[in-house]
Chains A and B, each alone.
Chain A
Amino acid sequence: MTTERDYDKLLTVALDKAMPYDWSIGLHGSMFFQEIRENQRFVGIRCPQCKKVYVPPRRVCGPCYTEMDELVPLSDTGTLRAFSVVNYPFIDPNTGGQRPVPYTYGYIQMDGADNIFSHIINETDVSKIEVGMRLKAVFKPKEKMQGHITDIIHFDIIS
């Protein structure tokens, strides 16, 4: 599609369709979503070398470059380590549409995990959010879960 902007003869070519892609979640990631659906709780995985617990679980510890297989049950609570309230509008490349704003992007350390899990915090008033706050995951009803990151709707601040 060719669109003409306001500079006379100088033209711009633009795509007007989003392109579809599929991504394999893998064995460990699939188990994570099954645990969310069955028991509404998180599961992590421990590196046999550095002992770090990762959530979501994945096959390899990148820094050690070691295969992991010890799954670690976690809860649905964690601590806010960092955040930002996103105010500006932008196109989400996964949907081709505008991402709804404002929303709060949070780095959450799940209880029992050593890394950070990124998700959305259910509060956009900056004065009510602080690093260190306690959070709890809110899940979709089981029948609506699809094995997708949005099976976790967001995290509520609990204290």
Chain B
Amino acid sequence: MAAEQSPQALATPAGDTRIHNIGYRSYDGPRLGRSYARMSLYSQSLRGAYGLGRSAKSKVLPMLLFVVMCVPAAIMVAVAVATKAKELPLDYTRYAIVMQAVISLYVASQAPQSVSRDLRFKTVPLYFSRPIETGDYVRAKYAALASALFILTAAPLLVLYVGALLAELDFTDQTKGFAQGLVSVALLSLLFAGIGLVIASVTPRRGFGIAAVIAVLTISYGAVSTLQAIADVQGSGDAGILIGLFSPITLIDGVQSAFLGASSAFPGGVGPDRTEGILFVLVTLGLIVGSHALLMRRYKKVGL
């Protein structure tokens, strides 16, 4: 029917310009369905988290933060190579803890970018009128932001690792440390992405989203570290350790000091022991699963 349309020429209002309309062509090619659509949304969101495929302006912040994340690692490597040090100035597992402000800023800027825009411009119904379903949307967005965070946090570790090998440090030690660091930042990426997306998905206003994510991450960390310091001074170290359950970054710190051979940033450098560590792991996983569940609930209501 459509293909039988005879060619016709449309005159544009410009007059002598003619656009030759070859008629409507129907599409008989493959339709790759739900899983392909989910992958497309994932890759589009991941690229978007670094401003790719978006305006030049939106590339500035994520790229800048990426560079800020990597520069200290490059400097450490340079110093280690130049001074022929026996080990790197900073553990792999410690790097993300030290750079947490940059990570928080990245989450705060990109989580709202990823989900608030779709809500604000009401693009969500266009997704759900296609084969994908709520779960596909949530998982694609979650995975994309977690991957973007992983790139942000793992890239400097890679710089450190390559630098350490160039400086001819012990291969086994470095590889083990690097692997532990990767596990730690993977967990951190999942946790931060989940918290960031849950907060951002509540508001269609990007500004509110950014402010709320920063507030939650910094206030929780500020409160926890203050309380921990007080507990430390008063000599109730165990209580101090458990307070660490209440902020994302101290959670990660607790998990990695208990299981990933990291030195803790808790007061006095004393992190949770193995038993307490299990609690930290459970809370971390609970938060990740909980974030996912909350996102699912949030998007169930966003129909057309």
Mutual binders A and B: no
